[in-house]
């Protein structure tokens, strides 16, 4: 019985390690491109089927060791993704392109740290407008509304809801 309990405890300890991923691939709507996200650092690369790769977003937290800190969320615009730091609530608009590196960008939507905890607590949910989303703190229920844009910085914003 004791041996079975030890095996069960060991399996329980290993399960998050087995299912956690350092790198997550997101298939884009362009069949020749994927985005590769480092879930620990926030680094995003555009990976093309011809072997080329382009940096979309540099590592935001290069010393972070926790998996799953960063996620990418699709938008209705096939070229645009939202990068979320699930620990702090910081947001970036990430855009890949097949037109060349000068069209690839990563722009802050929310530069403010909304939490300093070391665990995943923020999620985003789409609103009716393809440009607007809710940012939700799953621990406290606090909410913000934010908007991304292809029209420039004046059209990107976040406000407490």
DSSP 137: E
Question: pLDDT grade, residue 152 (50/70/90)?
Answer: confident
Rounded Cα distance, 14 and 118, in Å: 20
23, pLDDT greater than 90: yes
Burial of 144 by CB count in 10 Å (0-12 exposed, 13-18 middle, 19+ buried)?
A: buried
Q: What is the mean pLDDT of the chain?
A: 90
Rounded Cα distance, 107 and 31, in Å: 24
pLDDT above 70 covers what percent of the chain? 88
pLDDT in tens, 46-71: 999 999 999 999 999 999 999 999 99
pTM of the shown model: 0.86
């Amino acid at each position: 019985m004791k041996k079975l309990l030890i095996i069960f405890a060991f399996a329980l300890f290993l399960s998050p390690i087995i299912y956690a991923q350092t790198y997550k691939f997101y298939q884009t709507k362009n069949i020749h491109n994927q985005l590769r996200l480092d879930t620990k650092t926030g680094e995003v690369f555009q990976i093309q089927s011809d072997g080329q790769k382009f940096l979309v977003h540099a590592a935001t937290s290069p010393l972070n060791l926790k998996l799953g800190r960063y996620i990418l969320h699709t938008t209705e615009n096939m070229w645009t993704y939202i990068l979320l730091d699930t620990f702090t609530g910081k947001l970036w608009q990430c855009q890949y392109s097949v037109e060349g590196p000068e069209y690839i960008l990563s722009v802050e939507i929310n530069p403010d740290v909304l939490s300093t905890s070391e665990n995943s607590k923020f999620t985003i949910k789409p609103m009716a407008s393809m440009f607007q989303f809710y940012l939700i703190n799953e621990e406290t229920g606090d909410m913000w509304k934010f908007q991304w844009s292809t029209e420039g910085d004046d059209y990107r914003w976040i406000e407490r809801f």
